[in-house]
Amino acid sequence: MREAVASALAELARRDERSAGMARLALDALAPGQELERIDQHAVQRFCWFELPVRFQGSAQDQRLAARSLSQLFDLLQLHRYAQICKSAETTTVLTVYARDHDAGLAMFERLMWESGVEPPDLPELTWGTAVGDAEILARRETAAALELAISLGDVRPGKLGWRPAQERFTRSFLTRPDHQGLSHLDRVREERVRAWLGSSAHPHRERLWPLVGEIIAGADAPRSAERAMAPLQKLLDLAADGIVLTQIGYIAPGVVRQMCADFGWRTSPDPPRSETDATQLITLHQVLRAMRAVRRSGRRLVLTRRGRQLREDPEALWRAATQTLCRTGGVEQAAAETFLGLLLTRSPQGAGSHARRGESDVSAAERTLTEYGWVPVEPPVAAGRHAAAHGRTADAASDQLRAMVMAVGWLLETLGLLTEDDGDGHRELTVPGRAFAIACLHQSAVAPRAVV
């Protein structure tokens, strides 16, 4: 291949020495080492529509010359489709737009990439990240190359009716196809993400979850009993379909609170409850539905969103949404959920678990673990010169906040029927569906795409 490149560059130099020099620079940026076998449509488009205008030194005129020169080189190498991209009207236009407005040029680049059909789409199973490892880089590159081939064969037809679903089906099939070791690209990306998630220096509490690495990578499907576990959330969605009356300060109306407590046999204090604040079960469900954007406030009523209407019709989708929500809150609240779930998952059936000390409740063990790893709630700054007692009260308040965050996770699990009864010492076990739910929560958190920070 290198001999062919050298010959083509020599021929181009005989025609125009400056064009040959520009083509060589462009090719070196596009394919270091002049490895033509690593070039594909996605790479050529990205070079012409992003790297050339953003990273290539020189004026807009020089950039257009580089694109034309690369086109001539590709023609000499019989890579005519790639040559056409370099000299296309789209390339000329995007370079002109970048010269006037960087943000507009970037928006055009993203649109053109998507319309070309070779940009791997996000799937429910995989959202592509921006901070990625080797497995994800390889998966994305090979998916783009596979899409290029599918388009050339007519299996995916960009711009035609139904082409996006066809592109997604092809991408899913390619990413889930096992290799000779029995692992697919999706498997390898998930494993890479989980290991990076567990090893994150910004989240040292996760080191206690390493014994669960295999289960977190594999995840857990919704069990047959998912519909029963989701019944309280389902009921609240059903009520929101007609609009739930809210109090002036946004709490669910007392009549609905009492109805929900009666339907599911929830114990409250006082009993019957006078408001939503008397029913921790309903507080938890309300917060979860808000977090998953299934409901919204409209005046003095709580109503379904479009997402809420979709989830109402599909208990398994509701289960997945709940598992995605619990450990995606960010910060100390997410750390509290991960720590508490990890404590319950790593406990031996007979013992109190590796996190707990004798006589220590689950909530206290999780709170202590979070504190040991340096997690503290965000608190207002303490004024200089304040009495030491005030600092003590602030520390106590922070401890109370941590405990409340851990307890909120327990309330949700209890409300959904995913925990056994308290043994009298503050210790509880996950039920079989509860274990599936906890693993799914950690899996969803771990395989979520990482952002550049």
* Phi/psi at 419 (5° precision): -125, 150
pLDDT at residue 359 tops 80: no
**Residue type, position 199, single letter:** G
Quick one: CA dihedral 334, 338, 344, 345, positive or negative? positive
Could you read off the pLDDT of 45-65 as tens digits, one per residue? 999 999 999 988 778 889 999
Phi, psi of 180 (to 5 degrees): -65, -15
In whole angstroms, how large is the CA radius of gyration of the chain? 28
**Of the candidates 233, 203, 198, the residue with the CA atom closest to the CA atom of residue 217:** 198
Which segments of 179-330 does DSSP mark as H helices, in order?
Answer: 185-198, 213-218, 226-229, 231-242, 254-264, 280-291, 306-312, 315-326
Reference 139, options 110, 179, 166, 111; nearest CA is: 179
Residues 6+ apart with CB under 8 A from 133: 192, 193, 196
The tens digit of pLDDT for each residue in 165-196 reads 999 999 999 999 999 999 999 999 999 999 99
- 267 within 8 A of 422, measured Cβ to Cβ: no
Cα distances (Å, whole numbers) of residue 45 to 18, 26, 150: 23, 13, 17
Residue 357 pLDDT grade (very low, low, confident, very high; cuts 50, 70, 90): low
pLDDT of amino acid 293: 96
Spatial distance between the Cα atoms of 426 and 283, rounded to a whole number of angstroms: 21
What is the structure's pLDDT at 390?
46
Q: 74-101, pLDDT tens digit by residue?
A: 999 999 999 999 999 999 999 999 999 9
Cis bond before residue 272 (omega within 30° of 0): yes
As a residue count, the chain comes to 453
From the list 333, 373, 365, 322, the residue with the least C-alpha distance to 200 is 373
Backbone φ and ψ for 245, nearest 5 degrees, come out as -65, 135
Q: Find how far residue 90's CA is from the centre of its chain.
A: 32
Longest dimension (CA), the chain: 92
Of the pLDDT bands very low, low, confident and very high (cuts 50, 70, 90), residue 384 is very low
pLDDT per position as a tens digit, 105-152: 999 999 999 999 999 999 999 999 998 999 999 999 999 999 999 999
If one counts every other C-beta atom within 10 angstroms of the C-beta of residue 307, the result is 15
Is the pLDDT at 421 greater than 60? The verdict is yes
- The pLDDT, as a whole number, for residue 32 is 86
| Orientation of helix 331-346 relative to helix 432-447, angle to 10° | 140
